[in-house]
Each structure stands twice: as structure tokens, then as C-alpha cells.
Structure 1
Amino acid sequence: MPMPQVPFDDRGLAYGDGLFETVLLRDGQPVLWEYHHARLSKGCQRLNIPLPSARQLSQAWQAPPRAALEVLKLILTRGSGGRGYAIPNQVAPRLMTRRTPFTTNETHWREGVCVRMCQLRLGHQPLLAGIKHLNRLENVLARQEWQEPDIAEGLLTDQASNVVEATSMNLFWSSEGRLYTPYIDRCGVEGTLRAALLSEGLIHESRLSAAALSSVERLWVGNSVQGVWPVRELRDAHGSRLAAWPRFKADPLQVAAHRLLGYPGTFLS
């Protein structure tokens, strides 16, 4: 189904005044929907946009599936109107959705990936931290920093030189046998897979400086669509190797995360 044309005065188009969710559909049913809905609700509260009803949202996946795995993208804007940055007196949110077939990258699951540090640093804005708002210019600029096909992701630090996330995934690491993920209280996106792992007590929040990143026991990037990719090599922003990790027979984070997503548990051997 084609996306509807967005009016010229839509505030999401003009100002990034809105939110989005990217949801894995398995056999037509949303995976981790509880966490997606919670993040969307938090974003609506932060931006003061009315939350669509459960019926409105569920209509996005009522059509028969076209593939066993699909990705559903929900875009919610404040709608049209208002004078400049001032919001209209009567807000009429605009909800748009699109479903596309999806294929997992089992090579990344099995062999791991190479990632690099980005030069761009995320700005601190606690009011926007965690939510998936439409203004992703920092991520767009960061993704322009590399073109090498063997680099799967770029890691982003904040103004205090702490690692926060990857350009489109959350970050995880192990230290002394415990699994961690960065705090998302100043900037960054609270991924739904990350939220589910935290809810089950499988990972813990901590701060990690960019300088300490190369000394962690193991490193991963992951999200609720792609699953978890073990990091086998870390490079700096100029392409020089900072660290490398061997493949392991057991991958506790991948097993736990993929159980939540319905993916195979581990491919490393």
C-alpha cells in the first residue's frame, strides 16, 4: 500500500514534530508490542501529542501478512496547523503506516560485525532522551561518516565522551561476567529490545567511556528488528583497529535477546 501524500504544512515534515516506531511483525503479529506502545506513549507525553487509540494502532497490522517476517513503520506527526513553532489550538495528529517484507542477516548473527567510532557527538537534551522522535539529523550525519561495506555500524558518544548507542542500534557489553548497556538519560533512543532485556533483569545500565570501550570482555549491537550482532572488530573514526574479540561458543546476550524476538539463539561456534 503506498504511503499517503504528506501535506506541505505537516509539522512532522516541517519541524520533525512527531514520533515513529519500527516494529517486527511475525506472521502478522507485532513482536515486543508492549514495549513499542510504552515508548510511543512516553513520546506522546513528552511532545504533548495525543496518543492514538489501541484500535487505531492495531489497524496497522490487521491485513493478512505478505511474508513470515515484516517490518511495520508507524509515523505519528502532530498534524497540520499552528503559527510557526506554536502548536495549533486543536491538534489533529496524523498517523501513517507501512509494512514491508523483512529478511534477517544471519551472517551477522553468526560471524559478528565490524563497527567504528563516529566523530559526531550526541548533544545532551534530557527532554528528548529515550523517545524516538522524527528529528534524527544527528544519526543521519553520523551515518555519512563511512561508506566501507565491511563496517556494519557506527558508535556514538555524547558530550562527556561516554558511549551511548550505535546509529540505529543499542549497545551492549560484558564486564566481569555481567551484561551492560549505556544509560539513555541525556540523549539516545531507548530501544524496545533493550527495554525488554532490562525488564527481565538480564542486563544492567551503566556508563562506559569511549576510552574504556576497547577493554570490555565482549561487545554487541542490537535492536528489535535485526536482533543481536556480536562485534568482532572495533575501529576508530579513521579506520584504525582499536580492538578485536574472538568468536565464542556461547553467546548469552544473543540467546536471551533472540528468545524474545523468536529468532534462533546463537550461531557462534
Structure 2
Amino acid sequence: MSADAKPVSWTLVNGEPAGSLPVSDRGLAYGDGLFETLRAVAGGLPLLQRHLKRLQRGCEALAIPFASAQIEAELRDAAVRLGEGVIKLTLTRGSGPRGYAAPSEPQPTRILSAAPAPVTDPARREGIALFACRTRLSEQPLLAGLKHLNRLDQVLARSEWQSPEFAEGLVCDQQGRPVECTMSNLLIWLDEGWVTPSLEHCGVRGVMRDYLLDTLTARGVPVVEQSIDMDMLFSAQEVCCCNSLIGVWPVIRLGEQRWSVGPQTRFLQTLAEQVYQ
């Protein structure tokens, strides 16, 4: 590695290089924690404040101490060190005795890992096919919207297909209503406005989703968060999915249903790309 080359990947646990956790860590034992996945660009983290706000909301909901200044400093340092790529921060409640009862004075564990940006097919910018997942999302309003460590719903849903024909999978709630995709949020253009599924009972409140909704609202573009059904999805004129790593992918197929990539989706792509310029 040359003197100017940046390291490819590494992991820190509580600020120190490490590759393991105590078996007593509650994140391992119970999924008792949260995580954020951030895109680093030119040594910076363009959506950092949105990630931190979501992490803080999660910590408040789970009653996990949140060392905001320390976490932000570590993330910024990691971005400078990485340059370009992906940084994942996992925050667990820390170690504790056997049993579900949380320790009265938890000492959270911070796990920060950095890696190169994943290589994705540029053709996905022109449209993807969705797989219709059979796995339904678990419903727990107290956890709805949070990016907590219990991701088995997504693991099961993603395991339903292996074909590269599908770039993402649609997942529904217990009533069969579309909520999101396995790793991204869903938006549909319907009757001259954007609609995105409500996350009142389940699903993840993505930072790219929130950025797009806030930006659209500020520009006077109609945006509605509400429960949708399959009929509404199939009636949409445009459909897309988004997250902070991929930006915006148009959806052009789900089963026999087809959509075109329209001007509203192209505009969302532009807004997402502007974040990282």
C-alpha cells in the first residue's frame, strides 16, 4: 500500500481495533441494539445528521445510552480514513447477565466497520424487477421505523430468491399490504402525487426516504404517507425504491405488472444523486 493509499476495510470495537465480541453481549444474545449503514464520499458522510437522528430515536425507544458526540467523532474520523465506501455502526446495549432483564446501568458496545462500496450493476438505474416475497413483516408498533438488530424478517425474505433477475423483493405486512422492500423503502406516483407506505406498525424509516420526502414537501410536491394495498400499487403510474447506498432505483416489473420509468422517478434520482455530489 502506498503512503497515500487508504485502507480497504477495518473494524473497531469501542474505538479499538478488534474482531470479536464477548459472548455476553446483548446484541449477540437478543438483537438488543441498533445499526446504521452510511455511505462515505470524498471523506465525508453527506447524510450523517439524519443517521444520527434516527439512531438517537432508536436509543430513546430502547433506553440505550447515546453518546452522541463520541459516536459522531468516530464516524467522521472513519470517513476521512476510508475516503469512499461504506461505514456500518452497530450499537448494542453491551454485556449483561443471562436473562432478558436489561442491566440497570448498561455500558453500550460500539462496533464500527468500514468497507469498500459494493459494486452494483449500473443498469439498475434504468429499472429493476421486484420479487414478491412470501415472508410477512412482524408487527410491533414500539419498534416500527427503527433500524434495530432484529432483521430475521429481512433475512428470510431475501433468502426466497437467488436469481440475478431480481434486484429487490417486495415485503408486506400481516394483512398483505405492501410496506417496503428487503433493503429499501417504497414510493409510488399515484394520481399526481407521491405515496409511501405508512410505517406505523412495521418497516424501517430510511434516511434517504426521509430526505426525499422532506425535499419534495419543501418544493411543493404532493407527498402522502399512508397504508396502501396491492390494487393501489398496481394502479401507480411510477414505482421506485430507495436507500442511502443505492439512491433511487425505478421499479419496472413485479410479476406480470409492468411500469415505465417516468419523469417523477427521474427527478427523485436527481435529488438522491445531488446528496453525494
TM-score normalised to structure 1 length: 0.89
Alignment correspondent of 1:244: 258
- The range that moved more, 94-103 or 42-51, is 94-103
Alignment correspondent of 2:138: 123
Alignment correspondent of 2:123: 107
The answer as to whether partners of 2:238 and 2:262 remain within 8 angstroms in 1 is: no
State how far apart, in whole Å, the 2-side matches of 1:187 and 1:134 are: 14
Which of 253, 260, 267 aligns to 1:233? It is 253
Alignment correspondent of 2:228: 208
The answer as to whether partners of 2:187 and 2:196 remain within 8 angstroms in 1 is: yes
Q: How many residues align?
A: 254
State how far apart, in whole Å, the 2-side matches of 1:16 and 1:184 are: 21
Deviations 1:96-147 (A, max 9, x none): 10111215633211x2111121111112210000010001000001111111
State how far apart, in whole Å, the 1-side matches of 2:190 and 2:254 are: 17
| Alignment CA distance shift 1:45-1:245 (3 Å) | same
Q: Does 1:60 align with 2:75?
A: yes
Which of 221, 233, 241 aligns to 1:221? It is 241
Alignment correspondent of 2:15: none
For 1:41, the aligned partner's letter is: Q
State how far apart, in whole Å, the 2-side matches of 1:89 and 1:82 are: 11
Q: Does 1:196 align with 2:239?
A: no
For 1:143, the aligned partner's letter is: R
| Alignment CA distance shift 1:61-1:86 (3 Å) | same
User: Over aligned residue pairs, what C-alpha RMSD do you find?
Assistant: 1.7
| Alignment CA distance shift 1:261-1:165 (3 Å) | farther
State how far apart, in whole Å, the 1-side matches of 2:108 and 2:82 are: 28
- The range that moved more, 249-258 or 18-27, is 249-258
The answer as to whether partners of 1:104 and 1:226 remain within 8 angstroms in 2 is: no
State how far apart, in whole Å, the 1-side matches of 2:119 and 2:243 are: 12
The gaps in structure 1 that reach 5 residues or longer are 236-240, 263-269
| Alignment CA distance shift 1:147-1:223 (3 Å) | same
Percent sequence identity is: 41
State how far apart, in whole Å, the 2-side matches of 1:189 and 1:226 are: 16
Q: Could you list the runs of 4 or more consecutive aligned residues of structure 1 that deviate by over 4 angstroms after TM superposition?
A: none
